[in-house]
Amino acid sequence: METILAIGIGVFAGAGVWLLLRPRTFQVIIGLSLLGYAVNLFIFAMGRLRVSAPPILEKGMVGDPVAFDDPLPQALVLTAIVIGFAMTALFLVVVMAARGRTGTDHVDGRED
């Protein structure tokens, strides 16, 4: 599973970076999303992979870290998802505004 996830992260990130370097704004948005998935999965993977061990306690229990998946990267990724959403929204609006004002969807605001 580690191998597969590692490859998956790499491919997502590669596809994301490729799109990020393209000249059209829409490509950049999609690229950011893909790169965002890759980075979130990467951070998440830093807590190592566990199957069927969600970090949810029984009531009244002092948790034992060995029994659960690491909750810290999860909390970080949760934050990252939210910020990623905000960034996508803002970027989309900037794209729309740039398109409206410059008449092009090139990232530089003009065709070359």
Q: Dihedral sign, CA of 36, 34, 84, 57?
A: negative
Cβ contact 53:31 at 8 Å: no
Least distance (Å) from other proteins to the CB of residue 39? 8
Burial 52-69 (b: 16+ CB within 10 A, else e): eeebeeeeeeeeeeeeeb
Using CB under 8 A as the binding rule, the residues of this chain from 31 to 60 that contact other proteins are 31, 33-34, 37-38, 40-42, 44-60
Q: How far is the CB of 47 from other proteins (least distance, A)?
A: 7
From residue 60 to residue 99, the character string flagging contacts with other proteins as x (rule: CB under 8 A) and all else as - is: xxxxxx--xxxxx-xx-xxx-xxxxxxxxxx-xxxxxx-x
CB of 110 to other proteins, least distance (A): 10
Query: At closest approach, how far in Å is the CB of 98 from other proteins?
Result: 10
Size of the site for other proteins (CB under 8 A): 92
Is the distance from CB of 54 to CB of 21 less than 8 angstroms?
Answer: no
